Structure 1
Amino acid sequence: MPTLRIIPIALLAFSILFSSCGGGGKRKPKDEATKPAQKAAGIGRIHFFLETSASMGGYLKGATTFKDVVSEVVNKSNQIAPVSVYTITDKPQPYQGGVGPFVEGLATTPLANGKSSKLHTIFGQVGAKATGNDVAVLVSDCILSFPDADIKRDPEINRNNASSVLKNQINDQFASLSRKGISATVYAYNSAFNGTYYDYQNKKSQLNGEQRPFYIWVIGKQSLVADFDRQLLERLSERPAQQLSFGSGDGLKKYELFFGLNKKGDWRAERGNVTEIKFGRKAEPAEFAIGLDLAGLPAYAQAPDYLKENLVIKADNATLKLVNVQRRENVNTTKRMTDREQQLLARNSHVLTFKIDDLFDDEATVNVRMPVRFDTWYQTDWSTMDDRTEAGRRKKTFALVHLMNGVREAYQTGTNDFVNFTFKLEK
């Protein structure tokens, strides 16, 4: 017993000594962009890419939301994990000096002077950096287009072939990433645009403050992207107007069966299965709760209402229904819980409560599945197929619907699930 008392006292003394030797009241550097990043758990390095084709130039002239957002995102990313900066048109070019000079360069250096770029090639090169524990970030206007020479030969090639050739090039690129377990999140913003705009026929218009969309893509392993999204959004002062996450990989199979939380009726928890269920006229209908860690899913897929509507529950030889979905912070913990059950609750983000109405045999197998589904905000409000006039292009991106559908179809396959696990009910 004396040993048990000495250890915490020693640790406390060490903690006090360590904290007193740490900050020492030093003032924080004024320039956060040059502050060395503290490595976040799990994320190794962030590779930050700015597309610099000529079509991006108007975002960089004058006072624009684009410059504000990109400066903040690269700066706050550097607080999450170390950042390497690149510009990209046909291939990545490391930005000399890193984050601090890059932030200055957004205001002082003509960056967007490259030739037109092929988006599927850019996504491939950016995605190639999202290996191991690294995450890649791309800033682009996301305008799908054939090369200049093709447009000169056929001014309608972009409009006539965006839904086939260009969409399938994007699909093929993201299908390759999906097979490697790489997911993606996209943030959508609007910004004033001051400069030359190239429409789908490559004809020029001079815009002065017209609102144009731009997009920030985060690419990497699903758990790393989810962690990066959470940390970045907590830090941003300029939130995206829209957001969409494309998950990858198999559905979540891990779950925890609580043995007391939300329990009704007479039954036992045994190796993740509900066993020894008592039925009868005097028996209270059995209810049980399962914990899931859904923190890695897109934000909309974590909403309790979304889960209630989209979880597919199949049970052979049983009548079973989902009666409640709760976020962990909304679970009633006023009733006494064992330390073990508190630990189970702490490591899960959601609690699903089920009710067993009947069991027709001695045993039943239950499958809980939630197919991948994605928001479709981009289909009308953010996409246009004729950007030659202000009315046709204002706050819209040419052929965005085909780009995003290409990505969506790469992830939303018949075998791709957000959740997919199985357990048993036994009398």
Structure 2
Amino acid sequence: MIRTRFSLVLLLTLGAAWWFSGCNLAPQEETPTAPKADTIRQINVFLETSASMNGYLRGSTEFKDIVSELVTKAAQIEPVRRPLALYTIDKDLKPYSGGVSAFVESLATTPLATGKSSELHRIFEQVGAKARNGEVAILISDCVLSFPDAEIRKNPEINRTDASSVLKNAINQQFAQLRKDTISASVYAFESAFNGTYYDYQNKKQVLNGEQRPFYVWAIGKQRVLTLFNQQLQERLNAKPEHRLDFGAGQTVTDYNLFFTLNREGETWEADKPAINNLKKVKPDAPAEFALGVDLSGLPAYAQTEEFLTKNLAVSAGNARVKLVKVEERDDVKDAEKLKANESRMLSESSHVLTFRVSQLFDAQTPVTITLPVRYDTWYVDQSTMDDRTPENRQGKTFALQHLMNGVREAYETGAGSFLKLSVTLNQ
């Protein structure tokens, strides 16, 4: 009888436990939902077709090869919800309905560049309107700043005298609005043979036969979507640009990994992010060195180089002596295979490793701030001319390019931005 009662109690207890478990009455921790991945909703390609572009389309030119590959490879980028949209644009944009294959064929067989002198700020206004809501807009242009034909006829010097004021500020206004809408821009510079009529800043015609001329591909879109597009396009393109510049680097990098053995010097200190403790024995002949892992993959390509980081990274450490001693890309880190699992994971999350040396520490606690100010490359200065009437002044240069690019740069470079800002505390 006792055994029967015991068995009944046991069955009831197990049954109750099963029932409560099955009903899941106890509060459970919610499984975090993974953030939705960025996707490119639409890619829009605009080919400028003012008459000044015609020389790129005649004969055998790199322009046709590069643009054909660009359009073909852009159409392969995934995930994209809609097919590639194609347009020609001079004063107004015109949808191209033939599809990618027909467009590529028309580069070789159809006179496309037949429009009048174009105004770049009006072109960027129309292109920028197609760079919202997950869309990317691509503009292919010679990027020559110019007033309308009628204004040049009235005053042949107007492009030279007023490009730095009127035209530059018109460009600035367009990109300031894009920046306000958190839209970024990348520009790729290429070169190509040019066969045909070239229009100088006075709209005088010169016939060129194979002279190398720059042209530019602009990609515009929301920063995260644009970053994804740039990465996927670069993986596919065989044609590499002569130069690249990215405007609007997105959010400042503030996170980092603090390594405890990688590039370590000094025996006693301890890593306890965001602090480094037990630095009492630090002195000039017995410094401590520590390494931070940071992900800079979202920065412009030139801002990720060792040269740029070494030159521009600033360390503010109050009364202590702290300086940057080494910049390494992740793949260049020596003996990475010897790291333990945790540090190996931290390295995999980093694009760069920054190593710092502490040689003097006077206070019990010292806050350290590490910043990388927003600065844009200026390769375009050497690629700009204000007199394109002779081959010597024109070779490899674009009229008033400096004023165009400065107008864009000033829209994004507000003076208060940083590519990177890290905080570390040093404790004795």
TM-score grouping bracket, smaller chain normalisation: 0.7 to 0.9
Aligned counterpart, 2:10? none
Contact preservation (8 Å) 1:247, 1:297 = no
TM-score by length of 2: 0.84
Aligned counterpart, 2:317? 315
Contact preservation (8 Å) 2:385, 2:398 = yes
Give, in angstroms, the shift of residue 282 of structure 1.
Answer: 12
- Pick from 363, 370, 373: which aligns with 1:371? 373
Aligned counterpart, 1:23? none
* 1:75 correspondence with 2:77: no
Contact preservation (8 Å) 1:227, 1:296 = no
Aligned counterpart, 1:138? 139
Q: Distance in 2 between matches of 1:328 and 1:41?
A: 25
CA deviation map 1:341-370 (0-9, x unaligned):
222111110011112122222211111111
- Pick from 352, 355, 361: which aligns with 1:353? 355
Aligned counterpart, 1:229? 230
1:262-411 alignment, distance < 5 Å: 262-265=263-266, 266-279=268-281, 285-334=287-336, 336-380=338-382, 382-411=383-412
Secondary structure at 1:378 match in 2: helix
Give, in angstroms, the shift of residue 258 of structure 1.
Answer: 1.9
Secondary structure at 1:421 match in 2: strand
Give, in angstroms, the shift of residue 330 of structure 1.
Answer: 1.2
Aligned counterpart, 1:124? 125
CA deviation map 1:212-252 (0-9, x unaligned):
22111122233443443333333323222222222344432
Aligned counterpart, 1:100? 101
Give, in angstroms, the shift of residue 273 of structure 1.
Answer: 2.2
Name the % identity: 56
Secondary structure at 2:226 match in 1: helix
Contact preservation (8 Å) 1:124, 1:173 = yes
CA deviation map 1:333-392 (0-9, x unaligned):
356433222221111100111121222222111111111222222213x22211223333
Contact preservation (8 Å) 2:283, 2:360 = no
The total of aligned residue pairs comes to 387
1:210-221 alignment, distance < 5 Å: 210-221=211-222
- The code of the aligned residue for 1:211 comes to Q
Contact preservation (8 Å) 1:178, 1:249 = no
- Pick from 49, 52, 59: which aligns with 2:46? 49
What is the aligned-residue RMSD (CA, Å)? Answer: 2.3
1:166-205 alignment, distance < 5 Å: 166-205=167-206
Q: Distance in 1 between matches of 2:221 and 2:57?
A: 27
Contact preservation (8 Å) 2:330, 2:350 = yes
Q: Distance in 2 between matches of 1:283 and 1:140?
A: 58
Q: Distance in 1 between matches of 2:417 and 2:51?
A: 38
Aligned counterpart, 1:66? 63
Secondary structure at 1:353 match in 2: strand
Q: Decide whether aligned partners of structure 1 residues 391 and 262 sit closer, same or farther in structure 2, where only a CA change above 3 A counts.
A: closer
Give, in angstroms, the shift of residue 402 of structure 1.
Answer: 1.0
Contact preservation (8 Å) 2:286, 2:359 = no
TM-score by length of 1: 0.84
When Rg is computed on C-alpha atoms for both structures, the one with the higher figure is 2
Q: Decide whether aligned partners of structure 1 residues 343 and 334 sit closer, same or farther in structure 2, where only a CA change above 3 A counts.
A: closer
Q: Distance in 2 between matches of 1:222 and 1:374?
A: 16
